[in-house]
Chains A and B, each alone.
Chain A
Amino acid sequence: MTLLAFDWALLIEKLVLIAVIVFGSLGIALYTTFAERKVAAVLQDRPGPNRAGPFGLLQPFADGLKLMMKEEIIPNTSNKVLFILGPGLAMTAALMTCAVIPWSSHVELFDRKIELQIADINIGILYVFGVVSMGVYGIMIGGWASNNKFSLMAALRGASQAISYELAMGLALIAVLMLSGSLSLKAIVGEQMADGNYWNIVYQPLGFLIFFVCALAECNRTPFDLPEAENELNFGYHQEYSSMKLGFYLFAEYVNMIMSSAVMACLYFGGYDIPFLDESTLAPNVAALLGIGALLTKIVIFIFIFMWIRWTIPRFRYDQLMNLGWKTMIPLALANMLITGALILWKTGV
């Protein structure tokens, strides 16, 4: 009976946590679409959607319903299996990232210490990068299976863009890893919360800038939204998609945005750390709740900046994008890495 001597409470605890986090992120993504429209409107002197419900708050549900009710079109010449797989893969990859993000410290319920993180794996950030690169498959497969030259072009662009910017992103990340000495996101956050340490943004301003620009490119956000450049590629890699499959692609983009905001908050802005407050003086449950609030606030601020940039800057040309990625970002990230390494060596005096 050794098999049954399993910690069932742990299983239930994790399942509840997974459900809460997945549906929570979906809910936030839902309202991010609404926020995008509102932010766009406000930046352009318009009121934005304000008809559905008070202040238009029911608009995302109306949008979702509209997408569900649309006719489901699968092109005759498409590869049907891959065509259906594409949006699912994009969504799965986007949601899988949330498994390693430390949403807060721990809460104490029913005499149990519950970590508010689905899995604290010691290669957390590598896992994030692995999953994020999987997201490219969603774009590639979708664009390829549509059997449409515009979709294929967009998919190629998306894939090459994602791969180019992942390099610089990874190099910027190495500098952070040198500072914290761990790949676990929880440890990286803990390092920034420790006494006498500041947030990584203080030590890594250039690294953060590189990471942020690369995150924009990874999420296919303006100014790097070349995969869905309407004026050249009609609608990009999801041109042949309709109904909820299109909804999945659009939704995955917003989930990606939330997840990259969360990762950036954890890596550079102390995760669930509240500035100028010593969390250890509070009761653990209160600290955990405040921590969730702090992380969510940081995520919201990042999402706002993403949108703010989108409605300010025009799109890059493709050669400019590649030049920026390979000739500017990667050398800068390398230099940042070398300087950080040299400074760490000099400080520790080895």
Chain B
Amino acid sequence: MQALTNRSQGVSRKPMSFMERLYIPAILKGMAITFSHIFKKKPTIRYPEQKRPFSPVFRGLHVLNRDEEGRERCTACGLCAVACPAEAITMEAAERLPNEEHLYREEKYAAKYEINMLRCIFCGLCEEACPKDAIYLSETFAPANYTRKGFVYGKEELLIPDPKTNPEGYAAAKGSK
């Protein structure tokens, strides 16, 4: 049979020499290798204190965005829910009342907006579908939870902090996007 690469090596069927049959030199060699690892740098990242930086294209937890004046961008058009291949998004629309202009950007808004994080596959299609730049995927991932219910994120969990009242939180949640 013709070899595909020149990397293959034949197995040596030679009987072991006396030195090899002693085992001790080989064992000492192995022990020297493990001992040298004591002084090697440890690649561990001590997680809660240290975090590995995410790539800018990382798709983590969803964020419902606000505009510069702190108004919710979402108009509950439902395009994200349609785009979602995992059918993780549900919403209920409501009409903006005359005294709510400072809360919602358009006349229609999402009264209820839920993403089931157990269904979500973090594909980012909702982000692409959104015509209002209202939803995007951040650089954090869903924390552990004790119940299935806890993984259904509502508006309280998803909405980004208001840039006027809580600029630091807004910047932190917005990340580098």
CB within 8 Å of B: which residues of A? 42-47, 50, 209, 308-309, 311-313
Q: State the Cβ distance, B66 to closest chain A Cβ, in Å.
A: 38
- Chain A residues with CB below 8 A from B27, complex form: 309, 312-313
Q: Which residues of B contact A (CB under 8 A)?
A: 24, 27, 30-31, 33-35, 37-38, 40-44, 46
Q: Is A312 touching B38 in the complex (CB atoms < 8 A)?
A: no
29 contacts between A and B (CB under 8 A): A42-B37, A42-B38, A43-B34, A43-B35, A43-B37, A44-B37, A45-B37, A45-B40, A45-B41, A45-B42, A45-B43, A45-B44, A46-B42, A46-B44, A47-B42, A47-B44, A47-B46, A50-B46, A209-B24, A308-B34, A309-B27, A309-B31, A311-B34, A312-B27, A312-B30, A312-B31, A312-B34, A313-B27, A313-B30
CA distance A308 to B35 in the complex (A): 8
Q: Is the interface of B mostly helix, strand, loop or mixed?
A: helix
Contacts of A312 on B, CB cut-off 8 Å? 27, 30-31, 33-34
Residue of A nearest to B46 (CB): A47
A88 to chain B, nearest CB (A): 36
A309 to chain B: closest residue by CB? B31
Q: What is the predominant secondary structure among interface residues of chain A facing chain B?
A: loop
Q: How far is the CA of A42 from the CA of B37 in the complex (A)?
A: 7
With A42-B37, A47-B42, A312-B27 known, 9 other A-B pairs at CB within 8 A are A42-B38, A43-B38, A45-B40, A46-B42, A47-B44, A47-B46, A50-B46, A308-B34, A313-B27
A229 to B37, CA, bound (A): 26
- In the bound complex, how far is the Cα of B46 from the Cα of A50, in angstroms? 10
The interface residues of chain B lying within 8 Å CB-to-CB of A44 are 37
- Which residues of B sit under 8 angstroms from A42, Cβ to Cβ? 37-38
Cα distance A185–B34 in the bound complex, in angstroms: 34
Chain B hits for A313, CB < 8 A: 27, 30
Tell me, in angstroms, the Cα distance from A311 to B31 when the chains sit together. Answer: 9
Shortest Cβ gap from A53 to chain B (Å): 16
